[in-house]
Amino acid sequence: MTLPHLPHLEQTLGDLVLDLLRARAEHPELVLSPPQDARGDASANAVRVTQHYTMALLAYGFLPEQEELAEAATWFATPFPNEYHRRIDAVEMNRLEALLALRPADPTVLPRLEQLTRQRTADDYFDIQAGGPAFDTLWAVKVLAQARDAGVLNGLMTDKNLALWSGHLVSVNHREKDLALALRIRCELKGGLTQAHLKYLDKLVGIAEQNGGLWGLSQDMRGIAEQMGRHQLVAEQIADHRDIFRETILSTCYVIENLMPLTVLYPHIEETVRRAMEMWWQVFCGENAVNTLRALFPNPYDYLLIVCRTLVSARAYMGDSLIRWVSAYIHRRLAWQQPRSVEPPDHESIRHALKNWIRIDLNGVPEPLRLGMSDSNVVRIAPYLANPMQPDDDTFRLTIPNADTLIVKFGPVDEVNLERENYARLPASIRDCFVNIPQPSYVDDSRRRAFVIMADLNRYRTLSDALQRVPQIHEALVRELGPFLLRVHQGDGRGRRAQHEGGLLMQLYLLPMQQHVRRIFNYILENRLTEGDGKQRQAVQLQRDLLDQIGHLVRRQLELEDFPMACMHGDLHSRNIMVRRLKQREQPEREAEVDFKLIDLEKFRRGGDSALDAGELLVDLELMRATRNIVDDRDPLVALMRALNTTYAAFAEERADPTFGLRVRLAQARALIRVAKGRTKQGELALKESRKGPAIRVAYDALSDAESALGHLQAVAAGLG
């Protein structure tokens, strides 16, 4: 066998594998993590990363019986179904894939396969997650074919049906990585491709030629491909679009992995596939491979995914387990390793003693700042240092410089980590628009809660508070809020268009609305909260009308899907916008009178829809306005809403986005349905406390929100014609 050409192969693979084996200790929250809650669940990110981790170790040459993979199999083999999990979702699919690769005979596998087949819809697609029916079905066929190969399909699906499905999926999956997977599955099930399928194989080759050798590359990233081709790519070049670059590399690795086995039957594609592998490899290969990849992908989640998929694609490229090329290098590394100088253990003990000696405490009780819809809490604290040798003498108290008050945000580890990860993904050009989110200061492992200490924005008010209590700032808010939000939406200034196959409209709007509508009306109807005055029938009809309108838009979603993507806050309301009136002496060169900061980044997306933020904020302002008895001409809320509508209309026209107004109405419907769903939490609490009166009021408020949402949905349908 001729060794394929990959520079510094032995050292690069060896260092990546060694670093991956250290991931369990370095990133315990992502690899074989402990449960994050009382139900015993691991986070979705941990399940996904651990699944990729196992695939990478198998590609390296580990056997399922070896310690690392045997432990992973036990970690994945949770009971199913159980009290909390009865459907197969994305987390359960990752779990099922891992079990089929590591321990296919495990008794938890067959119940998952049986449930997966039950989630086949009437139109012969599968319903798993919000990724769209074509991808869900492709994923299901991949897993069912994996079960077939492992001999555990148990008659749940015939080979004929799998082959028919795989052939159909070639024509409906248009993302390059999904198309490559569909072609490989079809080829394996039928022993080859038809002439009709071969044109899709040639399509993938053509895409790589157009994109400089890569797949999954957007138009605005072609300059990056050129830099890679000239061996000139550095981390700074992708700092403002790291998530887009990550998806490009992951797509390229997936396509390599799935097309390389096809080169035996279709040798004309081999040169293109090898070129892609070599192009990515040369970016990081050599003695600094690990450091280079960590610089390109500083977020641990991104880094581990990239390393794992690179190793799997390298295994496909090499045609054999990687251990064949790496084992000698690792043995030499062990032999050359010099013993490290060990610090006397007393030194570490002295450090611990010093930390315990210094007295840090709180002045007063932490002040709760809000109770949001998430599971996180935010409090303000006033810390101080005291001299432990004079514990009762307040004159020895020291206020921490520039930190007389601080903000502590705490909640589930995954939720806090998501906000930090989103902050890390912010384009550098707009990072100053957001509150700084540092690393966790403390993690309570027993409760799986993370605590983050942040600067206190005590000189800021929420937009909601400022609109109600600070009249001298109203004119500036009306004038400056819109331009500030447009700056955030524009991000790094690269306006990519949404891809139809990405199902962005379904993910952002339609699926959440479907889920929330069911939650709202389950609360109202199952608890019989509208029976007394004959409203029950109207509530049932309203639910049907909402679901009918949403279903109509699902069928017509492609008419709204083609729009320029933007940075999106994802939860933009008046309590998440902080404002501060600037004094002239603070920034004399600025014409602005207001400084803005956005908080709560759990739902931030670089590739989102600015219309969603606009619609959500407009609904929030309208709900605020409805509680006030102020004539329109004198109400700053009305002036602000008009200014925002004008600003966003110009923004849409400038970006050639003709459906922006319809998506704003869709976002307003989504926001109202979400508000109604949020109300049901209060109602459920009232019912638990046997307070039916408040629960009934909640039901009527939720119905009012739902009726308003229906009006927006009908307007969207009418706008589509």
CB atoms within 10 A of CB 369: 17
User: pLDDT (tens digit, 9 = 90+) per residue, 662-693?
Assistant: 999 999 999 999 999 999 988 888 888 888 88
Whether residues 534 and 645 fall in one domain: yes
How far is Cα 243 from Cα 229, in angstroms, rounded to an integer?
20
- For residues 253 and 315, the answer to whether their CB atoms sit within 8 Å is no
How many independent structural domains does the chain possess?
3
Is 467 within the bounds of a domain? yes
DSSP 373: S
3-class DSSP assignment, residue 368: strand
Whether residues 624 and 710 fall in one domain: yes
What are the CA-CA distances from residue 479 to residues 484, 591, 610, 633, 647 (Å)?
Answer: 10, 11, 19, 16, 10
DSSP 120: B
Both tokens assigned to 211 = 């994109």
Is 558 within the bounds of a domain? yes
- For residues 559 and 659, the answer to whether their CB atoms sit within 8 Å is yes
Whether residues 294 and 435 fall in one domain: no
Task: Identify which of 505, 23, 101, 150 has the alpha carbon closest to the alpha carbon of residue 93.
Answer: 101
pLDDT for position 214? 94
pLDDT for position 251? 95
pLDDT for position 553? 93
Listed as ranges, residues in the chain with pLDDT below 50 are 1-3, 371-373, 500-501
CA-CA-CA-CA dihedral for 290, 293, 295, 297, to nearest 10: -130
How far is Cα 385 from Cα 362, in angstroms, rounded to an integer?
9
pLDDT for position 534? 67
Whether residues 499 and 558 fall in one domain: yes
Is 211 within the bounds of a domain? yes
- For residues 93 and 138, the answer to whether their CB atoms sit within 8 Å is no
Whether residues 371 and 508 fall in one domain: no
pLDDT for position 429? 87
Is 522 within the bounds of a domain? yes
The domain boundary, picked from 455, 480, 510, lies at 455
- For residues 644 and 625, the answer to whether their CB atoms sit within 8 Å is no
- For residues 306 and 249, the answer to whether their CB atoms sit within 8 Å is yes
Beta-bridge partners for 578: 462, 597
Whether residues 657 and 638 fall in one domain: yes
Residues 6 or more apart whose Cβ sits within 8 Å of residue 680: 519, 520, 523, 698, 702
Is 483 within the bounds of a domain? yes
Whether residues 441 and 486 fall in one domain: no
Is 505 within the bounds of a domain? yes
DSSP 703: H
Whether residues 687 and 710 fall in one domain: yes
pLDDT for position 244? 87
CATH number at residue 625: 3.90.1200
Whether residues 438 and 497 fall in one domain: no
The domain boundary, picked from 256, 272, 298, lies at 298
Both tokens assigned to 582 = 């600037």
3-class DSSP assignment, residue 359: strand
Angle among Cα 305, 309, 315 to the nearest 5 degrees reads 155
The domain boundary, picked from 423, 455, 487, lies at 455
pLDDT for position 135? 87
How far is Cα 571 from Cα 559, in angstroms, rounded to an integer?
25
pLDDT for position 219? 72
Is 161 within the bounds of a domain? no
Task: Identify which of 548, 553, 524 has the alpha carbon closest to the alpha carbon of residue 703.
Answer: 524
- For residues 384 and 398, the answer to whether their CB atoms sit within 8 Å is yes
pLDDT for position 445? 75
Handedness of CA 357, 362, 365, 369 (dihedral sign): negative
CA-CA-CA-CA dihedral for 89, 52, 69, 16, to nearest 10: -170
Helix%, strand%, coil% for the chain, nearest 5: 60, 10, 30
- What amino acid is encoded at 516 in this protein? H
Whether residues 253 and 379 fall in one domain: no
Is 73 within the bounds of a domain? no
Whether residues 544 and 603 fall in one domain: yes
| Rg of the chain taking only CA atoms, in angstroms | 28
Domain extent at residue 273: 174-298
3-class DSSP assignment, residue 581: strand
CATH number at residue 407: 3.30.200
Whether residues 477 and 435 fall in one domain: no
The residue whose two tokens read 């929330």 is 516
Both tokens assigned to 265 = 């039957």
pLDDT for position 440? 65
User: pLDDT (tens digit, 9 = 90+) per residue, 613-655?
Assistant: 999 999 999 999 988 778 777 889 999 999 999 999 999 999 9
CB atoms within 10 A of CB 24: 17
pTM over 0.85: no
